[in-house]
Structures are given as structure tokens and as C-alpha cells.
Amino acid sequence: MRALAKLEQVLPSRLRRRLAALQAYTVPVPPDTVAPAVDADLLTTLTAACRGQEQLRFDYTDHRGGAELRRAEPYRVVSWGRRWYLVAFDVDRQAWRTFRVDRMSPPRVPYGPRFTPRELPDGDVAAYVSRRVSAAAWRYRARVTVHATASVVAERITPAVGTVEAVDADICVLDTGADSVETLAVYLGLLGVDFTVIDPPELVACLRELAERYGRAATSV
């Protein structure tokens, strides 16, 4: 964002407006890994449509490789973890959706019609995308009971890592994930508080193996 601010000072007014839209309608979420490159022109087009409140038509490729024409009212562009997403209201399905930008074709022209922005169900667009996308982004997902307050745990994670749900004044449930159970096991240990695994069973087995390994390491000193 600092680099964008410096760039804005030397741009002509027309391009400054486009850059302002990119800043105003892009929501960063703390990443867990480096995001791949995405077409800058497409990002600019999407953010401009968010600002202009113009309905978009684009071809969208699903995870099976099938492409389908979608009509959507763009709301925000979000950078989450390794990818960019468009949060939009799907006109045909009459529901909110998150579209991976790397699976979108450039929107068809002309754009429109214009629309009145709808209210996002839970208001916080970054949290919304984190909940919708996190499970799909991880190979392994885990739910654990953490023996600490929700506020304490929330201070030790980012939205890109997981979500925290309070159970009572002393316990919360953490929904998180990673590309391997080993990463999950180490990460949970770094929380610095006691926890109990709800699922998956693979995580329980991995923790037992690590406990034995750490136990042997401690007795060898």
C-alpha cells in the first residue's frame, strides 16, 4: 500500500482515479503463503466495476474444468492467502459467491446494468472470505477445543489461519487447517496453551508420534 501511495503522486488524474478504486475496493487478508500473479488489468477492471456498481458477465471455470457464464454484482476484491477473490452477488443464483479471479475470464462488454449494492450478510468482507475459502484452500482441516478464552486465541492467529468460536468463559473451538497434519501439529503446539483434538484422527496420530519423538529428545539430554 505504501508503494501504491508513492505511485499515485506521479500518475495523471485519470489513472489516479483507477488506482484509487483499486485501493478502495481491495481488501487484504493476512496471507499464509505468497499469492500467485494475477492479471493486473483484470483486477483493475473488477475494482472499477465495484466502484461503478456495474453488473458483470464473465466465464467462470470451476474446479472440474467446466466453464459457465456468470452474471454478478461485484462487491469487493479480496487477497486471501495464495489467491485473489471477487466477492459478488450471483444474479442467477440469487446468492453471495466468492469467485477465484484466476478462474475468471475478462468480463464481457458492455458492462451493466448498474445496481444498488446489497448488504453483505455478516458485514465483514475479510472474515466472510476467510470462512468461505479457508476449508477449500487446505488439504487438511482440523477442529480443536482450546483451553483458553476466545479473545486470547484470536490474538495469536490471523483470519487466514482459522476462526475461533467461544464455548464459555474459559474454552473455545478453533477451526483451522494446513497442507499437512505435521504442519497442523506444530502450529497448534505454538499456540502455547492446552488443546484437545476434535478431528481429524490423523492429527491425533501425528501428535502422539511427535510427543514420543520430543520425549526421546528430552531424555537424551
The domains of the chain, with CATH numbers, are: 2-133 (no CATH), 138-219 (3.30.70.250)
Q: Is 204 exposed, middle or buried (0-12, 13-18, 19+ CB in 10 A)?
A: middle
% pLDDT > 70, the chain: 78
Whether the CB-CB separation of 52 and 107 falls below 8 Å is answered with: no
Q: Render pLDDT for 86-103 as a digit per residue (tens, 0 to 9).
A: 999 999 999 999 999 999
Overall pTM > 0.85: no
Q: Render pLDDT for 34-78 as a digit per residue (tens, 0 to 9).
A: 555 688 899 999 999 999 999 999 999 987 889 999 999 999 998
Give the integer Cα–Cα distance in Å for 133 and 120.
16
The cell numbers describing 174, all together, are 478453533
The cell numbers describing 46, all together, are 473488477
For residue 88, the cross-strand partners are: 74, 97
In degrees, rounded to 5, the angle at the alpha carbon of residue 209 between the alpha carbons of residues 158 and 152 is 25
> Is residue 154 scored above 60 in pLDDT?
yes
Mean pLDDT of 158-166: 80
Give the integer Cα–Cα distance in Å for 95 and 22.
24
Cis geometry, peptide bond prior to residue 200 (ω within 30 degrees of 0): yes
Written as one letter, the residue type at 128 is: Y
H/E segment holding residue 47: helix 40-52
- Pick the more confident residue, 72 or 220: 72
Rounded to the nearest integer, the mean pLDDT of the chain is: 83
